[in-house]
Amino acid sequence: MDSIFTSFLLSITTTTTTVFYAIVVAFVSFVFINKRRRSPCKSSSPSKRILLGSMGWPFIGETLDFIACGYTDRPQSFMDKRCLLYGKVFKSHLFGSPTIVSTDAEVSKIILQSDANSFVPSYPKSLTELMGESSILRINGSLHRRIHGLIGSFFKSPYLKAQVTCNMRKLLLQSMDTWKEDRPIYIQDETKNIAFQVLAKALIGLDPGEEMEFLKIQFQKFIAGLMSLPIKLPGTQLHRSLEAKKKMVKLVLQIIQDKKINGGSLSQNTMDVADVLLNNKSEKLTDELISDNMIDLMIPGEDSVPLLITLAIKYLFDCPKALHQLKEENLELKRRKKDLGDPLCWDDYLSLPFTQNVITETLRLGNIIMGVIRKAMKDVEIKGYLIPKGWCVLTHFRSVHLDDNHHESPLQFNPWRWQDRDMSSGSNTCFTPFGGGLRLCPGHDLSRLEASIFLHHFVTQFRWVAEDDTIINFPTVRMKNRMPIWVKREN
Ligand code: HEM
């Protein structure tokens, strides 16, 4: 998902050079326009709160300031400054659109829970071109609810969790077997490679091999276009990405055809998401819709889990007390299962409270998805604020996650803060790393499971030291040097 959001940011950033020249021409009109825009939103009723804020420069609004803050180690400073001046909900002009920014947990919750009559997701043109019209990320209304429900409940099912556990453990142990003590291991790369294969298996049942390698290569070409100018001419990045998508669709369509000929998998133990959509009786889904969606589902799934694991390892290295407790908890589980002679099942990995608290705290502090953007389909009033039709709303999760009114000492990695709190549902008002409402991330259970499996095998088998590395927050969250670590095998 962060790729999606990033592409939104970048596609606008790249247009800013052109826009710069327009600014010079528009400067004379600026004084007049800006003066008018700085005035509060007009409200049709006296009960509506006045939204304060600045619309910035013509065309680019406050985008450059937003980006500049994004590159610092406190990207939320853009919001913090404006919250002090205007309050927790303010207006701005970002990425070419008049935008209401919400750093208020309750306002954001209402926006997330609204249906498509009030708000729809808003993405940049290059991304919508690449996603296809019937992508789960683009569709709204009853078809969206149906597909989201089918995918969400399958991702939650014990069958898929068992399959993912088995697959992830196999790939992880294979990968760990190749780790050497005399050279660094790049955690970000290792986790990306494993998570992609786990995802491809869960979505279309693909096993490692030639087709997997082909899909990986095409997928990298495809996502490169998410951050491109929205021009489709031959030779452009967007064109190359669309070509890569065509090749992936062809491969997935072939897999779907084979499933149809061979009857697909009817056993829940070996089913994948494509089987679930193919076997769905209540709504006839075309092969094209299914194959498009299999690829579009890889967009939010591909990068986020590797980042979650990488950030957890970074925070743990910086907090030896938490690492020690995590290690003890996982070693205890390993000993217990060994004594019983049982293999570890998916629910064993998820059963360790401190490990789950480490993952929850990583999601809060890491803010892999800084927020989401919606577009108002009509004038909407929330807590007295008027959000005008056609405006975008940025619900900024990072501000809420780092607000000391909600989380004490918010910049500190403190997994103990989650003790005795059940966060398995994925979100509450002040903690929304997976969004909420109708578009709550269907992959949230899976993400926790994959992170738990990685952490278990990592801390019970290795001691390690990390090289100095820095978290970059813009345009996507990532480690500057891909998180190199030096390992020593213990068991
Ligand atoms: C740490 C990992 C992850 C994080 C932080 C994350 C975060 C999010 C967020 C915030 C949204 C809401 C977007 C919105 O409201 O517009 C979302 C949606 C989504 N996520 Fe995830 N995600 C993660 C992993 C995954 C995985 C592994 C998958 C598996 C394919 C996945 C699939 C999706 C899909 C399909 C949607 C769109 C749902 C819809 O629009 O109905 N995510 N994710």
What secondary structure, in 3-state letters, does the chain show? CHHHHHHHHHHHHHHHHHHHHHHHHHHHHHHHHHHHHHCCCCCCCCCCECCCECCCECCCECHHHHHHHHCCCCCCHHHHHHHHHHCCEEEEEECCEEEEEECCHHHHHHHHHCCCCCEEECCCHHHHHHHCCCCCCCCCHHHHHHHHHHHHHHHHCHHHHHHHHHHHHHHHHHHHHCCCCCCCEEHHHHHHHHHHHHHHHHHHCCCCCHHHHHHHHHHHHHHHHHHCCCCCCCCCHHHHHHHHHHHHHHHHHHHHHHHHHHCCCCCCCCCCHHHHHHCCCCCCCCHHHHHHHHHHHHHHHHHHHHHHHHHHHHHHHHCHHHHHHHHHHHHHHHHHHHHHCCCCCHHHHCCCHHHHHHHHHHHHHHCCCCEEEEEECCCEEECCEEECCCCEEEEEHHHHHCCCCCCCCCCCCCHHHHCCCCCCCCCECCECCCCCHHHCCCCHHHHHHHHHHHHHHHHHHEEEEECCCCEECCCCCEECCCCEEEEEECC
**pLDDT tens digits, one per residue of 290-312:** 999 999 999 888 899 999 999 99
**pLDDT tens digits, one per residue of 182-193:** 999 999 999 999
**Distant-in-sequence, close-in-space partners of 371: CB < 8 Å, separation ≥ 6:** 5, 394, 395, 396, 397, 398, 399
Please tell me the predicted confidence (pLDDT) of residue 426: 64
Please tell me the predicted confidence (pLDDT) of residue 48: 67
Please tell me the predicted confidence (pLDDT) of residue 425: 67
Please tell me the predicted confidence (pLDDT) of residue 24: 32
> Which residue's CA is the nearest one to ligand 1's atom 17?
441
pLDDT band at residue 4 using 50, 70 and 90 as cut-offs = very low
Q: In the predicted model, is pLDDT for residue 19 greater than 80?
A: no
Average pLDDT over residues 65-82: 94
Span from the CA of 433 to the centroid of ligand 1 (angstroms)? 9
Q: Which of 431, 441, 454 to mutate to test the pocket of ligand 1 (most atoms within 8 A of CB)?
A: 441
pLDDT band at residue 168 using 50, 70 and 90 as cut-offs = very high
What percent of the chain has pLDDT above 70?
88
Span from the CA of 2 to the centroid of ligand 1 (angstroms)? 9
pLDDT band at residue 20 using 50, 70 and 90 as cut-offs = very low
pLDDT band at residue 33 using 50, 70 and 90 as cut-offs = very low
Q: Which ligand 1 atom is the nearest neighbour of the CA of 151?
A: 35
Please tell me the predicted confidence (pLDDT) of residue 126: 81
What percent of the chain has pLDDT above 90?
76
Q: Which ligand 1 atom is the nearest neighbour of the CA of 195?
A: 27
Average pLDDT over residues 373-385: 95
Q: In the predicted model, is pLDDT for residue 82 greater than 90?
A: yes
**pLDDT tens digits, one per residue of 386-403:** 999 999 999 999 999 999
Q: Which of 188, 364, 392, 434 to mutate to test the pocket of ligand 1 (most atoms within 8 A of CB)?
A: 434
Q: Which residues line ligand 1 (CB under 6 A)?
A: 1, 121, 136-137, 148, 297, 300-301, 304-305, 308, 368-369, 372, 433-435, 439, 441-443, 446-447
Please tell me the predicted confidence (pLDDT) of residue 3: 40
Please tell me the predicted confidence (pLDDT) of residue 366: 97
pLDDT band at residue 266 using 50, 70 and 90 as cut-offs = low
Q: In the predicted model, is pLDDT for residue 32 greater than 80?
A: no
Span from the CA of 299 to the centroid of ligand 1 (angstroms)? 9
**pLDDT tens digits, one per residue of 428-468:** 899 999 999 999 999 999 999 999 999 999 999 999 999 99
Output the furthest CA–CA distance in the chain (Å, rounded).
79
